[in-house]
């Protein structure tokens, strides 16, 4: 026997509360939403607007969503037997530990600008750290920040898979070099675009010749 069933509740009975939540869900589907609801929309806008290579933006988005294969994450999936940091072998390897609070990571940050050296040491998570830096650094330093994050993570992977561990000075120099090369390329592109724009603006537009003259091309 057919009967009316309200899909907004588990028992099929209509309620104003369930209709309200169903309406919100429909609005979200029409508008679209960010892949990680805990992080604000403004945070994602700042992240995707960073002047860094697209691969670096994707890396930072994975960092902020806790998607890197740290030992802590691998332990949760049953892949590892422990979550001890492979660099310091002292604390659990979370993302905030691997990229910021680990003594080996702090050595890298300490090799750079005073802006990074004066940042607070303790953060509850990587999103809090990145948000803190978003609000205090300009585009240039934010680009360098992402480059250092990637270099620290790549050094960690090289230690785990190849048994090699580069010095903190080498890591920061490599990150700075990649950062400077990218910004140099950006400036060249901006100069080329400006030159092209000036050329177009300065070029004379065609006009009809005078009645007593002949225009020859």
Q: Are 99 and 63 in contact (CB under 8 A)?
A: yes
Query: Measuring CA to CA, which residue among 60, 70, 63 is closest to residue 92?
Result: 70
Q: Are 65 and 75 in contact (CB under 8 A)?
A: no
Mean pLDDT, the chain, whole residue set: 84
Q: What is the pLDDT of residue 32?
A: 42
Compute the Cα dihedral for 181, 61, 150, 146 and give only its sign.
positive
Farthest CA pair distance, the chain: 94
Q: What is the pLDDT of residue 205?
A: 64
d(CA 90, CA 175): 26
Q: pLDDT tens digits for 59-92?
A: 999 999 999 999 999 998 888 889 999 999 989 9
Q: pLDDT tens digits for 158-169?
A: 999 999 999 999
pLDDT band of residue 204 (cuts 50, 70, 90) is: low
**Cα 67 from chain centre:** 12
Q: What is the pLDDT of residue 19?
A: 80
Whether residue 199 has pLDDT greater than 50: yes
Q: How many CB atoms lie within 10 A of CB 30?
A: 7
Q: Which residues of 87-110 are buried (b: 16+ CB within 10 A; e: fewer)?
A: bbeebebbbbbbbbbbebbbbbbe
Q: What is the pLDDT of residue 109?
A: 93
Mean pLDDT of 116-145: 89
User: DSSP alpha helices (H): ranges in 16-138?
Assistant: 16-31, 41-48, 54-64, 71-76, 95-96, 103-110, 114-117, 126-134
């Amino acid at each position: 026997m057919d009967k009316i069933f309200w899909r907004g509740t588990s028992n099929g009975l209509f309620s104003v509360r369930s209709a309200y939540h169903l309406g919100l869900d429909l609005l979200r589907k029409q508008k679209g939403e960010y892949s990680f609801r805990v992080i604000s929309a403004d945070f994602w806008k700042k992240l995707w607007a960073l002047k860094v290579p697209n691969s670096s933006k994707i890396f930072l988005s994975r960092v902020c969503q806790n998607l890197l294969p740290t030992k802590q994450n691998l332990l949760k999936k049953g892949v590892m037997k422990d979550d001890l940091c492979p660099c310091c072998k002292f604390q659990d390897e979370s993302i905030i530990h691997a990229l910021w609070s680990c003594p080996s990571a702090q050595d890298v940050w300490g090799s750079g600008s005073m802006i990074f050296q004066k940042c607070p040491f303790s953060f509850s998570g990587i999103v809090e750290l990145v948000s803190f830096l978003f609000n205090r650094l300009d585009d240039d330093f934010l680009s360098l920040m992402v480059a250092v994050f990637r270099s620290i993570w790549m050094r960690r992977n090289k230690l785990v898979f190849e048994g090699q561990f580069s010095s903190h000075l080498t890591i920061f120099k490599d990150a700075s070099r990649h950062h400077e090369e990218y910004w140099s390329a950006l400036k060249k592109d901006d100069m080329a675009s400006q030159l092209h724009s000036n050329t177009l603006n300065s070029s004379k537009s065609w006009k009809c010749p005078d009645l007593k003259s002949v225009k020859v091309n």
